[in-house]
Amino acid sequence: MTSTSSAPHNNQTRVYDRETSVVFLKTKERFGGLSNMAAGFPLRVNGVRIKTSEALYQACRFPHMPEVQQLIIGENSPMTAKMRSKPYRRVSRHDWDFVRVKIMRWSLRVKLAQNWREFGRLLLSTGDRPIVEQSRKDDFWGAKVADDGSLVGMNVLGRLLMELREQLKGDEADSLRFIEPLAISEFLLFGQPIEAVQAAPNAEIPGWTPRRPSQAETAPRRPSDPQPSLFEQPMISSEHAIEPRQSTAPDQSVAEPGRYPAYKAAKVHWLGEIPAHWSEKRAKYFFREIDERSQTGEEELLSVSHTTGVTPRSQKNVTMFKAESYVGHKVARPNDVVINTMWAWMSALGVSKNVGIVSPAYGVYRPLNSNDFLPEYVNYLLRTPMLKWEYICRSTGIRASRLRLYPDKFLDIAFPCPPLAEQERMVAFLRAKDARVRRLIRSKRKLAEIASERLKLATFDAMKSQGTYEARLEVATELISRPIRRTEADSFVPVGLFNRGRGLFKKPETLADELGDSDFFWIEAGDLIISGQFAWEGAVALADSDADGCIASHRYPILRGIAGIVDTSYLLAFLRSDYGSLLLDLHSRGAAGRNRPLNVRSLLKEKISIPPMLEQEKVKRLVEIEASVRRSLRDEIDRILEYRERLIADVVTGKLDVRHIEIAAPADDPVADEDDALEEELEGDDAEVMEGANADD
């Protein structure tokens, strides 16, 4: 049975005993059909055939984006359908966190109504036992395995299934044959209101007769009961509650603060509405494709990034290979739009400020009329989330990581076009905001640097402490090898590493058959992960509980300290010390750009200083403190950048009127020419993420 824990999430966390529960993880297991990922339970809503309840649930995120719903529903695999939704998550319906549990409950009822015999029989076969979805990383819909073997989490999906099972057993079972649409706004499929769903009239569950619930069962639940009826409430804590978006309908009497006086409906749905005096045309009326080629290959080499746009490669911390010759590369000139065709879906594009050359595979587009757009305005507009979704929808390819945005698709995208004077005000306003964002991010990162310096000093002191001795790494550590089998899961979460000891990041969830030919290994919490290519830059990290169950390719050696000799946290601190960094650099060989593979076997033959365990424990505590500081700061920076992204989108698409806002930078702000970059502040993370995405292709 379940017991209530004192964990957060409105006290909705539960603890389940595996032996007495119905647990499902893989769809091929006995109770795998309970999973939303299970095949064999097709649905039909508004006459549209939908292969799984997962695809239906994900499609309900985007009632305002029918083409995204089509992408999701059109996938054969439920995991692929889920992954199709991920790039668009930031534009889920505005009240998603408040209605997602209702939508999940409705989806399960549709699954039962339209698969009455098969799914009904499976539900009833669970008896009265708790139903739990086991998950490696999600303790909201499911539950994760605890150290004692129990399953701990909110298990919302399992509890919804238990609720449905009890209704199926009771006298309200027949009502489950007819499912009304949810009474929520914009409950749409392909732009049409979702209609009622019903079971086939002759569908029956073999050997089953509904029973009437007892008086005790119909009595209101006490507050201490383990399964309170919480599903009408938003399943997020109050401190994370999301404010509903304000309506964008124009006020005919007086404009709201920050609003334009009058609006009109845009021609494309993703713009919603635009100021009444703006124009709107497809890109082909503003730009033309250019195919100018370099005759010498000696022009400035340009880099195109999803975070920093188009910049000279010489000014960036780039680790990509350099070609022997750049003759025949495409030439880009100031104010040209340059698009990395293969990474457009990540917004790897922007407006060039320089004359330079880019890959022949890139797209270069030149303005037809300089009076249409300011280059700075275009650079902001092209990188908004709304246009990013357009790139994704219009890109083609057989794999998500190989989508390409071809010229005809880009030139077909509609752009809003404000008057030039307004574009100038927008650019000035956003520049001033960028300066403040830059200062704030820099101050946050200084805190992380202070924590890192403290750790270095503590490690140095530990290495000099009495009782310290030296031993080879191969004696004090073990090289871990836990190879995955691709049949173990439908999808996996690979990892990558930031440089300068800034930790580990997760790459997008990847289907098993899309992992490529590389060998991959399981990661457990407490493992030390080293980047085999960028170890010399300090790309080492300790896996925390959030990385448990992720995978790393063969390019990432995994080490663990041998108990009683070296604590793995101390090993991390040692490798990040000045001497440890020197060893990583010494054993990283190669001269191809900055890609220098680590010879881990020769590294393991080096001797390291091993202090007493008491001193190692002190270092371990500081490792944990530094990791906590970095996590907290990264969350704060993510929120700052999310605010910046939303502000830019609202300004350049006319949701905010900044024409009459006085713009004055603080007196102590640096001059723009001396401090250009928010780019530099963001680029520190960007390079590693881009390379991490490429690492195993």
**Do 306 and 180 have their domain in common?**
no
Copy the structure tokens of residue 241.
């509650």
pLDDT in tens, 373-392: 999 999 999 999 888 878 88
Reported as a pLDDT band with limits 50, 70 and 90, residue 318 is low
With respect to residue 617, please indicate whether it lies within any of the assigned structural domains: yes
- Residue 253 is classified by DSSP as S
Question: 171 pLDDT band (50/70/90 cuts)?
Answer: confident
Of 570, 564, 578, nearest to 615 (Cα)? 570
34-48, 73-87, 104-118, 641-655: which has the minimum mean pLDDT? 73-87
Question: What share of the chain in percent tops pLDDT 90?
Answer: 50
Residue 676 pLDDT class (50, 70, 90 cuts): very low
- The pLDDT value recorded for residue 595 is 64
Residue 51 phi/psi, 5-degree rounding, is -70, -35
**Domain that includes residue 570, residue range:** 469-610
Question: Do 293 and 317 lie in a common domain?
Answer: yes
Domain presence at residue 47: yes
Q: How confident is the model at residue 475 (pLDDT cuts 50, 70, 90)?
A: very high
Whether residue 659 sits in one domain with residue 563: no
Task: Write down the pTM of the prediction.
Answer: 0.61
Distance CA 151, CA 158 (A): 12
Does some domain include residue 512? yes
As a whole number, mean pLDDT of residues 450-468 equals 91
pLDDT value at residue 516 = 79
Check whether residue 139 and residue 287 sit in a common domain.
no
Lowest average pLDDT, out of 264-273, 303-312, 374-383, 522-531, goes to: 264-273
Residues 627 and 575 both lie in one domain: no
pLDDT of residue 308: 83
pLDDT at 65 over 90: no
Q: How far apart are the first and last CA of the chain?
A: 46
Same domain, 354 and 213: no
3-state secondary structure of 44: strand
pLDDT at 400: 56
DSSP 318-380: --S---S--TTPEEE-TT-EEE-TTTGGGT-EEE-SS-EEE-TTSEEEEES-TTT--HHHHHH
For residue 231, being part of any structural domain is answered with no
Dihedral pair phi/psi, residue 497, rounded to 5°: -125, 140
What is the pLDDT, as a whole number, of residue 4?
35
- Do residues 627 and 580 share a domain? no
CATH of the domain at 337: 3.90.220.20
> Quick check: is 125 in a domain?
yes
pLDDT of residue 8 exceeding 60: no
* pLDDT confidence tier of residue 606, bands split at 50, 70 and 90: very high
Is the domain of 486 the same as that of 623? Answer: no
531/319 Cα distance (integer angstroms): 14
- Token pair listed for 193: 């209101």
Alpha-carbon span 575 to 541, nearest angstrom: 10
Residues 328 and 349 in one domain: yes
Do 405 and 548 fall into the same domain?
Answer: no
State residue 392's pLDDT score: 80
Region 621-638 average pLDDT = 88
Q: Is the pLDDT score of 234 beyond 70?
A: no
Q: How far is the C-alpha of 622 from the C-alpha of 578, rounded, in Å?
A: 17
Contact 593, 446 (CB under 8 A): no
Instruction: Mark which of 396, 417, 438 sits at the end of a domain.
Output: 417
- Assess whether 442 and 588 both reside in one domain: no
- Is 241 contained in some domain? no
Residue pLDDT, tens place only, 569-582:
999 999 999 999 99
Q: What value does the mean pLDDT of the chain take?
A: 82
Among 211-225, 376-390, 504-518, the range of highest mean pLDDT: 376-390
Give the E-state strand segments of 562-634 in sequence order: 607-610
**Does 20 share its domain with 150?**
yes
* Domain count within the chain: 4
Spatial separation of the C-alpha atoms in residues 50 and 59, rounded to whole Å: 10
Question: Residue 217: helix, strand or coil by DSSP?
Answer: helix
Return the CATH number at 145. 1.10.357.40
Which contacts qualify for 445-448: CB closer than 8 Å, 24 or more apart?
445/633, 445/637, 445/681, 447/629, 447/633, 448/502, 448/626, 448/629, 448/630, 448/633
Residue 526 has pLDDT above 50, yes or no: yes
252 is a domain residue: no
Q: Is residue 48 part of a domain?
A: yes
| Mean of pLDDT values over 326-344 | 93
